[in-house]
Structure 1
Amino acid sequence: MAPLSADARPTLRPRLRLVVILLLALVTASVMGNRGLLRLYEMRRARTALTREIGELAAANAALAEEVRALRTDPARIEAIAREELGLVKPGELVYEFRATPRPPAPIEAR
C-alpha cells in the first residue's frame, strides 16, 4: 500500500478525531442519557419494587374485604369485637376485674 501523500494525511486526522468524538458522545448518551442504560436499569428495579408492593397491597385488601364481610354477616365476630374493644357483656354475666397492685419503686443505690 502506498503511503498517503502529504495532502491527504492532514484531512484524515481531523475526520478521525471527529468520528471518535461522535462515537464517544453517542456511547455516553446511550449509557448516561435520559433514556440510557442506567435509567433503564433504575426503571426496571422500580417496576419490580412496585409490582411487589401491588401484590402486598392486593393481599392486604383481600384480608380487609374478608374482615368486612365477617363483620357484616358473622354474629360471633361482631360479639367478639363488642366484648374485646367495647367491653360489653351479656345480661346476667359476671365480670371480674383484676387490678394490678402498684409496685413500690426500686431502691436507688448511692454510688
Structure 2
Amino acid sequence: MADKQRAKKQPRPRSGFLTKVVILVLLAAIGWQLYGLRGQLKTAQEEKDRYAAEVAAQQQENDALAADIAEGPTEEKIEEIARDELGYVKPGEYIFEPGN
C-alpha cells in the first residue's frame, strides 16, 4: 500500500523554460498571422464593395440602353443624339456655352 501512495504522490515532470518560450513564440506567430489576415480581409471587402458599385452602375446603364432599344427610334431621341453627341443645331439657332 505504501507503494501506491508513493506512486500517487510523485510529482509530475515540469515543462522546461524552453518549452514555455517555444509555445509563447508560436502563439505570437499565430497572432501576427491573424492580424495580417484581418488586414487582407478588410482590403478584399473594400474591393468587393467597389466592384459591386461598378456592377450596379453598369446594370443601370444597360437597363437604360435596353429601354432605348425597346422604345425604338423616336424623333425626340434622334434629335437628342444629334444635339448632344453630334453637336447639330436647328437652322437659325445659336448655342451659347458657359465659360467660352
With the length of structure 1 as denominator, give the TM-score of the two structures: 0.56
Report the identity percentage.
22
1:69 and 2:69 equivalent? no
> Aligned pairs, how many?
82
The residue type equivalent to 1:20 in the other structure is: K
With the length of structure 2 as denominator, give the TM-score of the two structures: 0.61
- Aligned-residue Cα RMSD (Å) equals 2.8
* Aligned residue number for residue 9 of structure 2: none
Q: Which moved more, 1:48-57 or 1:69-78?
A: 69-78
* Aligned residue number for residue 86 of structure 2: 86
For 1:79 and 1:58, the matched residues in 2 are separated by 30
* Aligned residue number for residue 49 of structure 1: 46
For 1:79 and 1:98, the matched residues in 2 are separated by 15
For 2:68 and 2:31, the matched residues in 1 are separated by 55
Partner secondary structure for residue 91 of structure 2: coil
User: What are the ranges of 5 or more consecutive residues in structure 1 without an aligned counterpart?
Assistant: 1-10, 101-111
* Aligned residue number for residue 19 of structure 2: 19
Q: Which has the higher helix share?
A: 2
For 1:77 and 1:70, the matched residues in 2 are separated by 12
For 1:79 and 1:88, the matched residues in 2 are separated by 9
User: What are the ranges of 5 or more consecutive residues in structure 2 without an aligned counterpart?
Assistant: 1-12
